[in-house]
Amino acid sequence: MSDPGWFRALVRLVGLLLVGLAVSPFVASAARIVINLAGGSQGMPIEWSVAWLAAPALQLGFGVYLIAGGGMLTRWCLGRVQGRCAVCDYDLSGAGGPVCPECGAPVPPPPARGAPGPGDAAA
């Protein structure tokens, strides 16, 4: 499996972990809201119950996004991998032109040896 393939598999695995850890608090918070709305509990105001639901809901949503591939996040992370198109992730190792043969996006020239990369701090 290629490096981008491993990375995508790892992103999906992290998403699965996030979903697995968020389901129980999400269901408990949702049940607490339903019980409060039904008038069965006088212990906690409904606003607090809704606030307690927000964190697991966000975690659950982000986990589902990662399981689905994490499109924008994955493209941003893999866009800096040398030898791959930043737009379509096509392997450019055999391509010699200034554009990607798969999608037509311009291919930046490889950095000179020893030159700082796009994420390196300027000296």
pTM, full prediction: 0.62
Instruction: Give the pLDDT score at 68.
Output: 93
DSSP 33-83: HHHHHTT---SS-HHHHHHHHHHHHHHHHHHHHHHTT-HHHHHHHHTTSTT
Q: What percent of the chain has pLDDT over 90?
A: 27
Tell me, rounded to whole angstroms, the distance of Cα 32 from its chain centroid.
Answer: 30
Q: How far is CA 121 from CA 21, 31, 86, 110, 116, in A?
A: 37, 49, 21, 18, 8
Q: What percent of the chain has pLDDT over 70?
A: 80
**Using only C-alpha atoms, what is the Rg of the chain?**
22
Domain-wise residue ranges, the chain: 3-77
State pLDDT tens for residues 41-52: 666 777 777 888
